[in-house]
Chains A and B, each alone.
Chain A
Amino acid sequence: MKWINRQLFFLDFTLSSLSRRKGKNLALLFVYTVVVFVISSVLFFTTALRKEAEAILEESPEMIVQRTIAGRHDLIPVEYMQKIKSIRGIQSVRARLWGYYYHPASRANYTLMVPERYQHSEGTAEVGDGVLRTWGTLLENQLYFKTRDGEAMTLKVAGTFKASTDLVSSDLILMSEASFRRLTGMPEGFATDLTVKIRNRKECPTIAEKITHLLPDTRPILREEILRTYASLFDWRSGYMIVLLCGAVLAFFIFTWEKATGLSTDERCEVAILKSLGWDIPDILIMKFWEGAVISLTAFLIGAMAAYIHVFLTSAPLFEHAMKGWAVLYPKFKLYPAVSPYQLAVLFSLTVLPYTLITIVPIWKVAVTDPDAVMRYNA
């Protein structure tokens, strides 16, 4: 109890001491907060995107089988389905028809897809919000396409997707199989790839091996692999952002060092008076420790909260292009707020820990100042 009271007195003294030098401390606090804000925005945003990708892939099939020719993805014959189905442990195999369509008017790529059961009539399409927003030549709810042969083709918009699935469906156009084949020129008996559902997840690698033996020109891709790639990708992106920010962070630490070393005459006098009043070196160190802690924690809290607002309430306007990828069609989507203690711990060790270590030597230099020399010098 006595110890706690002592620390509270130190804290009280530190706060009043900080308030006496508002200008200098607010400048430091502002720069520190900006550093925390930028780093935490990167962390929060990439983690939220990673979680979003994981949530989307949760529903995807365990395996995708693609055919490759000369190392490039090629159309897969539908008859391969029968061969794959003969392998034990496989629940179902489905041929998928999908592709991309470049629309010159909007200068953007759209994703075309044939769903398992297309519920609208022939000559219609179901589209994402981003398509309606960007198509450009939308007239009477009809989308004009140019088929592979150069002929014109129109599809009536039969419906749009809900906003909750924006991230995946914004640039998506769903249509019937016949419309898809006519538009893209994909021959009958071929599909883009095959999806395989597997009963026991643990059997995936063995089944993948069997497929490569049975059909040597194919490449099975496991869901686990895609998840792993996404995890690496987002880690890599946020890692690079932080490496790029290193210069700014380093500048901040040099600024901190300068601030802590270049004490004003007032501050030197304050320490000298305290020491001549009977304060010991450890007392000054504790006071300076509290000073650092107050600035660090305030900057940490404000920076992290501002980053939370920036990422989860305003969709991170500062970073979205760097982090999401190249596509410009993505709507203003809201990410599910996902902040874990682990992220905060990483943020803490990227900002507060270096700050604390860097200020130790200047703090010690202040604490061992000879009061007599300071007072005589100032006089």
Chain B
Amino acid sequence: MILSPAIIAMILGSFLIGGFALYASFIGIRILRYWDIRSGSELQLGLERKTYLVSTIFTCLLGFELFSLFLFVYTADHIHSLFVGAMCAAGSLAVNSYGYPSLVVKVTNFVLCGIWLLVNHADYRGYDYPLIKVKYKLLLFIALLLVLEAVLQVGYFYHMKSDIITSCCGTLFSESAGNLTAELTALPSYGMKVFFYLGMTLTLRTGIHFLATGKGATVFSIMAAWLMVFSLASIISFISLYYYELPTHHCPFCLIQREYHGIGYALYLFLFAGGIAGMSVGVIHRLKCGTSLEMSIDLLLSRLCLFSMSAYIAFGAIATYPILFSDFRLEGY
């Protein structure tokens, strides 16, 4: 194990986050078992008050998840010099079998925490806590994932040995590596560009349709989710290449380095913001049916849809800028 202050901070953070998620889930189990909105008992009043505690905990956890996601990637990038063959976070994450699973679970948790908070926000709009049961079932699932994240993260740092020879972005994100990322990098950039911009257009189009008519929330949501996943693939496939101006460098982590002005932070922030808001539209729309939210939630959904579209437009603009304005021509190679 490497004992650096950043790693201690990450381990401490993951224990705290996992612990508080478990605490929140215990409250969640009590709410799921004993919740009865028609009752005026002391137990019910106590549970109603505890919903504030749980939402405060999760608001903090979302903030910490975002912070720790970037800190995790940056720490992995920072410690690359300790491993033979690592040049950035891609190499550090590959030093053992916990690295990439940790990252995937971290991203998933961040997205799920975001959706949970928006569902929670919608729930408070109704006078009778209409989404309480669904919300707390989702909370139990997220709490489990947060604990899994803590275990994976501690495992990753615990099994780290600095003399290990690792593979870095040169081999991990190369066409001949024979894994999922290799498949992504080997995809034809022209085709990926067409699908990416087609996905972006369709997402915006379905968003406008939803804003204008109030219909098609689910379609918009599916498009937003698909676009988020496809955009991550596009970053590996062609967006990163334009920033690096190198036809062979597909690394999604080097984008956060100083040489590229930390453009990766903005890119990923807008991407996740667009994805979380977009997916929440569909989730809340689906859950509101037959509840007291039916009439009062439309404005919130429209705002979320607009926010998601704006974030995706900002993401698209950052992704497109080097394609239009740099001297690098990918298809020329």
Contacts and interface: CB of A to CB of B under 8 A. Distances in A.
Contact of B53 (A232, A235, A360): A360
A360 B17 CA distance: 13
B60 A354 contact: no
B4 A238 contact: yes
Contacts of A242: 5, 8
A234 B321 CA distance: 40
Interface string A239-263: 1101100000000000000000000
Interface string B243-267: 0000000000000000000000000
A239 B56 contact: no
Contacts of A368: 49, 52
B31 to A, nearest CB: 15
Contacts of A281: 49, 52
Contact of B74 (A285, A342, A350, A363): A342
A342 B82 contact: no
A348 B6 CA distance: 10
Interface in B5-21: 5-10, 12-13, 16-17, 20
A225 to B, nearest CB: 9
A232 B4 CA distance: 8
Given A239-B4, A367-B52, A353 B162 contact: no
A356 interface: yes
A322 interface: no
Contacts of A277: none
A360 B57 CA distance: 7
A236 B5 contact: no
Nearest to A364: B53
A157 interface: no
Interface string B54-74: 001100100010011001001
Contact of B5 (A346, A354, A356): A346
Chain A contact surface mostly? helix
Main secondary structure of the interface of B (DSSP, over half): helix
Contacts of A354: 12-13, 16
Q: How large is the interface on A (under 10, 10 to 19, 20 to 34, 35 or more residues)?
A: 20 to 34
Given A282-B52, A342-B78, A239 B7 contact: yes
B81 interface: yes
Nearest to A54: B81
A173 interface: no
B67 A42 contact: no
A342 B72 CA distance: 11
A350 B8 contact: yes
Contact of B162 (A228, A243, A360): A228
Nearest to B165: A205
A243 B8 contact: yes
Given A242-B8, A349-B67, A231 B3 contact: no
A345 B60 contact: no
A356 B60 contact: yes
Contact of B71 (A42, A227, A349): A349
Q: Which of A342, A349, A356, A367 has the most chain B CB within a 10 Å cutoff?
A: A349
A43 interface: yes
B317 interface: no
B82 A232 contact: yes
A236 B13 CA distance: 19
A357 interface: yes
B177 interface: no
Contacts of A236: 2-4
Interface string A324-366: 0000000000000000001001101110011011001101100
A235 B2 contact: yes
Contact of A232 (B9, B12, B162): B162
B84 to A, nearest CB: 8
B67 A357 contact: no
Contacts of B60: 356-357, 360
A285 B52 contact: yes
A350 B78 CA distance: 17
Contact of B56 (A224, A227, A240, A364): A364
Contacts of A42: 5
Contacts of B74: 342, 345
Contacts of B6: 342, 346
Given A232-B162, A350-B12, A364-B52, A243 B3 contact: yes
Nearest to A237: B3
A157 B56 CA distance: 70
A242 B64 CA distance: 21
Interface string A65-88: 000000000000000000000000
Interface in B140-184: 162
Nearest to B258: A340
B16 A228 contact: no
B50 to A, nearest CB: 8
User: 4 closest A-B pairs (Cβ-Cβ)?
Assistant: A239-B3, A235-B4, A349-B9, A364-B53
Given A364-B52, A368-B52, 8 more contacts: A232-B2, A232-B82, A236-B3, A240-B3, A346-B5, A349-B13, A361-B53, A364-B56
29 contacts: A224-B84, A227-B81, A228-B82, A231-B79, A235-B3, A235-B82, A236-B2, A236-B3, A238-B5, A239-B4, A239-B5, A242-B5, A281-B52, A282-B52, A285-B56, A342-B78, A345-B67, A346-B5, A346-B6, A346-B71, A349-B9, A349-B13, A353-B13, A353-B67, A356-B60, A357-B16, A357-B17, A360-B57, A368-B52
Interface of B: 2-10, 12-13, 16-17, 20, 49, 52-53, 56-57, 60, 64, 67-68, 71, 74, 78-79, 81-82, 84, 162
